[in-house]
Structure 1
Amino acid sequence: MRFIPRFTFLCLFALATVFTSGCGYIRYLIPLNPTAKTVTTPPTHAAWDSQLKKYVNNQGLVDYKAWQGDSLALNAYLQDLSAHLPSKSWTSTDELAYWINAYNAFTVQRILRGYPVKSIKDLGGTKIFVDTPWDQHFIKLGGKDYSLNDIEHRIIRKNFKDNRIHVALVCAAMSCPRLRNEAYVGPRLDAQLDEQGRDFVNNPAKNKLTPADKPQLSSIFSFYPKDFTKNGSTSIQDFVNRYATQKIKPDAPLTYLKYDWGLNEQK
């Protein structure tokens, strides 16, 4: 051991720590692609659509108190998703719509199970990749257990190279994108995601685009900087300007707003 340079030793120690205490992190680097064994047709998501229209307002805020009294309808929809995993015969847009709806609906279910709560972060422990709300394996799909992180990082981000997912996935926080009060559906998914992009980027509570040379952006952009160099974008600034009514300078230095983890609840 004494012949190993100190820097190398520290690197090896850090790597060992990851493997021994952070196995969850390694897991999220491995793609998942849950698929039905038999050919199935995509769900209509009509049940989810109906509940969103009933309990989510135009600002994307949720009436969790009322929804908690009607949670059986949400559970029935999620059971239907569990019984109808994507099939290889589905289009990529049908698959992506399925997984976005699944992430958002299971997030709502997790809130309802713990409600009343001030923040989704209050529903988990402190150990990252182990017992945060995003690492809890409470999701049942096709007879197997998954976490929200599994859906976001191992399925959606690994299998769909579309950075617009970050304006569609909603983690029940005020700084998240608006929870759309309609379900995502394959035939309209492209238009729905573009509309979400315009809504999110131009919302002054999420992004402050003036002055153009000193914008303050959502921390979501700092969470996933490499994702915003994909799907036709060359940079975070380029992605923002795809949707911004007030353009920012292409080389503007970026700062990020503090993330508000308060519950996205109707008051």
Structure 2
Amino acid sequence: MKKSKYYTLLVAFAALVTTMSSCNLISSAGLSSKGLPTNEAPSELSSTTVNSKVNVDHSEWNSLLKKHVSKEGLVDYKGFMKDREQLNAYLSKLAKIKPTKDWSVQEQLAYYINIYNAYTVDLILNNYPTKSIKDINGNWTKDIITIGDVKISLSGIENSILRKMNEPRIHFAINCAAISCPKLLNEAYTAAKINEQLDRVTKEFINSDKNEISKNSAKLSSIFDWYKKDFIEDGVTIIDYVNKYSDVKIANGTTVTYKDYNWNLNEQK
């Protein structure tokens, strides 16, 4: 192979690897749910605890979030470090509670969102100090999460479980520890409040500075690009989806562009 052609291929491959390093672009190919159940959410999700075999108590996680996460979603990782024993106890508790098909979709959503967010905080603490989650080797691909007899990665939870549950608002609930991510909610998700919580974080994200929206302009978070197919099912466009939650309605036919992503750590200063 000629050197010039080899160099061109090498550059292209390097660019592809760089692009694929984002958690949001990790393909679900090669991943699996590891047998963990994924009940599909109805088109109109309600909040309830009465239709599930199990009701999981997330009060320990709720207490930690109230203490160490600001209303803006910024995280006091040094404070979390001081309460490491409490976080470890919560993760150990979740490891012993393996979801089944008998759980309601509400209980599953709350469980999987909370375990994703809690293990993301744990990942940062295990590698603290760090400027970005992207600097951590195997950040989304290593099987760091224990659920019963299953070991699974953050990407496995996101792509092979939560994204299979027919609830695109999960993209605004799970937090990847970066400035441009949807904020980490400073309360635990629960089946009793799941629909209202998902609505709240979706509205807050869409109407935040993570997007630049006007009637004839839409510069959106890259999340809407990376996960486009999750938002545009059944003929719904990205603009249609955003307009459901946006205070400012975007005119049909407006060209949508996407903002650069800030991967710096979402840490309180």
- Please classify the TM superposition score into its range, dividing by the shorter chain length: 0.7 to 0.9
C-alpha distance in 1 between matches for 2:172 and 2:218: 18
* Counterpart AA for 2:224: F
Could you list the runs of 4 or more consecutive aligned residues of structure 1 that deviate by over 3 angstroms after TM superposition?
Answer: 30-33
Does 1:156 pair with 2:162? yes
Q: Which residue, out of 237, 260, 267, partners 1:265?
A: 267
Task: Output one character per residue of 1:155-197: Cα deviation in whole Å (capped at 9) or x when no partner.
Answer: 1112x00110111110000000010000000121011100111
The 5 Å alignment of 1:119-130 reads: 119-124=132-137
Query: Given residue 83 of structure 1, which amino acid in structure 2 is its aligned partner?
Result: K
What letter matches 1:112 in structure 2? L
Contact 1:41 1:87 in 2 (8 A): no
Match of 2:201 in 1: 196
Distance in 1 separating the partners of 2:235 and 2:115: 26
2:76 & 2:264 partners in 1: Cα distance? Answer: 14
C-alpha distance in 2 between matches for 1:122 and 1:233: 38
TM-score, reference length from structure 1: 0.82
Residues 1:43 and 2:56 are matched in the alignment:
yes
Distance 1:142 1:31, change over 3 A: closer
Q: 1:218 aligns with which of 204, 216, 221?
A: 221
Query: What secondary structure sits across from 2:146 in the alignment?
Result: strand
- Does residue 58 of structure 1 match 2:63? no
Q: Give the Cα separation in 2 of the matches to 1:122 and 1:171.
A: 13
Higher relative contact order (CA 8 A, sep 6+): 2
Could you give the per-residue CA deviations for residues 59-111 of structure 1, whole angstroms, max 9, x where no partner exists?
00000011112111111101111100113322111111110111111100000
Rounded to whole Å, the distance in 2 between the matches of 1:109 and 1:240 is 32
Gaps of 5+ in 1: 1-23, 125-131
Unaligned runs of 5+ in 2: 1-26, 38-51
Calculate percent identity across the aligned residue pairs. 43
Distance 2:117 2:186 in 1: 11
Q: Which residue of 2 aligns with 1:247?
A: 249
Letter in 2 for 1:146: I
Query: Is 1:209 aligned to residue 210 of structure 2?
Result: no
Contact 1:233–1:239 under 8 Å retained in 2: no
